[in-house]
Each structure stands twice: as C-alpha cells, then as structure tokens.
Amino acid sequence: MNPFSSEILLTTYSQCRSRSVIRSVATLPSSFCLNLPGLPMRVFILYTFLMVMQDRLTLHNFLTLSGSDSGIGHALAKHLDSLGFVVFAGVLDKDGPGAQELRQSCSPRLCVLQLDITSTTQVKEAYLTISEQLQNAGLWGLVNNAGILGFPADGELLPMSTYRHCMEVNFFGAVQVSKTFLPLLRKSRGRLVNMSSMAGGIPLPRYAAYGASKAALSMFSGVMRQELSKWGIKVAAIHPSGFRTGWSEQWDEQEQELLASLAAETRSAYGEEYLLGLRSYLVQLPSHCAPDLSPVLAAVLHALLATRPHGLYTPGKGAYIPLFIFCCFPLWFYDFFISKVLGAGSAPGQPRMAGGENQKL
C-alpha cells in the first residue's frame, strides 16, 4: 500500500439504484394502490413515490476513498468500478505503476488524481475537485484507507522517526481528510469508514509504532461515531487480520536507520543475531498473510451501503479471536496466547539475557 496515496471515488451506482427502487415498490401494501380513488390517482402516487426514492438513492452516489496505489485500496477501486461506480483515484504518483494499472484495467469512468493525504494543499484541492463534481449534492461515503506499516521491530529499537511517520500517515492524515470532507458527508447523512488494523485493537509484538497509530485511528472512529450520530452520519472502523497487501516501503533504508540509531548498550542487550533476524521476519511476513482481499472488500461495502452498518468489522480468518481474548480474559492469558501464536515459527530469534531473564517475544 502506498504510504501517502489517496483515492477519490465519485459513484453512480446505477445497478443498485434500480434494484433498490424495485424492492421498495415491492414492499408497498397491496391494498395501498387498490384503495386509491381511480387509476389517475394511483399513477400519480406511484410516480411521486418513485421520484422520492430516486432522490434518496441519489445521495448514495458519491464516495471518497484514500490509498489506491496498491493493496486494499487498489482492489477496492477496481471492485467499485466493476459495480458501476465512477471512480476518481488519487495517488501519490499519478504516473506510477499503480495509477497506470488503474487506467488500463478499469473503465473510462475512472479518473486518476495526484493526492498526498499528508499535504494540506492537496487534500484541499481534492475537496474542491469533488465539490465541483458533486455540485449541490452531498458525499455519501468517505473511506480512510491509506496507511504505512513501518519496519516491524521491538518498540525499544524503533527510532522516533518511525513513530512520527506512522502517526503522520495513519492517524493525522486520516483525521485531516475526515475533517475536510465532513461538511459533504453531513449533507447526505453519509458514512465515514476508517481502515484500522487488528494491531489497532490489541497489542502485538513488533508493531508498537504501527499499532499505536492504528489504535489512535480506532479511538477517533469511536468518538466520531458518537459525535456525528446527531447528523445521521454512521462511522465504522475496519480491523482486518493479516492480508497480503503488497507493502512497497523502503525497508533497506528503514533497517539502516534503525541500526544506526541504536545505542551501544541497547545493541549489546539484544545481540547482533537478534537484530539481523528482524529482516528474516519481514521476509517471512507475507507467507503468514491471506492473499484473498475479498473479506475486507465485503466489510467496506457493507459499512458503506448497509442500512444498519456495524461500528466495528473484523474481516479475516480468526480476526475476532485475539480481540475476544484480550477483552474477556486476564492479560497474562492474552500475553501467553499471543506468545504462542507469534511463537518460534515467526520470531526473529531471541535477544540476549537481560536482567537474568530471557526477553522472549
């Protein structure tokens, strides 16, 4: 997933519109039309009902999604385009491979836009572009999907720049986009969907920076769900488990920065073997992730289109199990459970003895 990319989706959703109208008409009581005085009156009432339904469904036409260069955002853009949405895709590099693939594989409805979610100027430009396209209509959905992982390592080892970078993209970027587009969501009483992570709901070793930023995003989602309900805006957080999203970050540079920032005492405490093993964990990480993104796509679509969306989604095999154990069991049991799940098969060795105890992760 490209760290700063953002995607804008302007949708017509014509396929669902016609079906929704038919379903709504089908739910009318049979006696409703039969009891009306005369055929002209029945035709007039039916026509008025269809026009009202058309206006209501038009509010569901416009969506905004961030993070489309690769991974979940890229797959979601293609999926929405195949459903008939008109997609405005904002990317970090509009001439990059992700943007080029979207142009080639999607319908002519899709339009690629240059957008960095950490840039206030580019976010405002995106808002003006979308507002111009919407004219006086509201925005039905905003999906904050863009994010970065950061180099997976023990929290003590991570440089402060990694913490700041994760917060800047995963949290502050999403907040900035949300605050910018909320006036459009308020017009349509729409949806705000934030792509958090399983690491944002439970503590996971080697994800201190990433997990902290996603936890902040999850808390932001919960507070917004409460505060925006007065305008009828529904807010959902997505906590996927491990999925293969094609992270394209500069791992070599991040590893070198991590090693260069370590104090001699810290390097000695962990040992060179453990530090070198961090890269092997990163290499093995994709093999532990699911390649099929359809559960995440289904969760996002449900959050956007369902009459009663959930406040929290946990797509992925067993994603809810660690969260359940964390919430309902003693912390020592959760720590024991995680140590077994993330045990010797994926751990980058063990650090040296510290204070007489082995610091096993």
Which residues belong to the active site?
210
235 - beta bridge partners? 192
Residue 271 falls in which region: left (phi positive, over 0), alpha (psi -120 to 50) or beta: left
Q: Which residues of 180-212 are buried (b: 16+ CB within 10 A; e: fewer)?
A: bbbebbebbebbbbbbbbbbbbbbbbbbbbbbb
d(CA 212, CA 194): 15
Q: Which of 104, 21, 93 is nearest to 55 (CA)?
A: 21
Both tokens assigned to 328: 């309902």
Over the range 244-261, which residues count as b (16 or more CB within 10 Å of their CB) and which as e?
ebebbbeeeebbeebbee
DSSP secondary structure letters along 155-220: TTTS-HHHHHHHIIIIIIIHHHHHHHHHHHHHHHT-EEEEE--GGGTS--TTBHHHHHHHHHHHHH
- Taking 3-state DSSP, the helix, strand and coil percentages for the chain, each rounded to the nearest 5, stand at 55, 10, 35
Instruction: Write phi, then psi, for 88 (nearest 5 degrees).
Output: -105, 110
Structure tokens at 68: 């489309």
Measure Cα distances from 138 to 60, 131, 284, 305, 356 in Å.
9, 9, 44, 15, 62
Structure tokens at 356: 């007489």
Structure tokens at 217: 């995003």
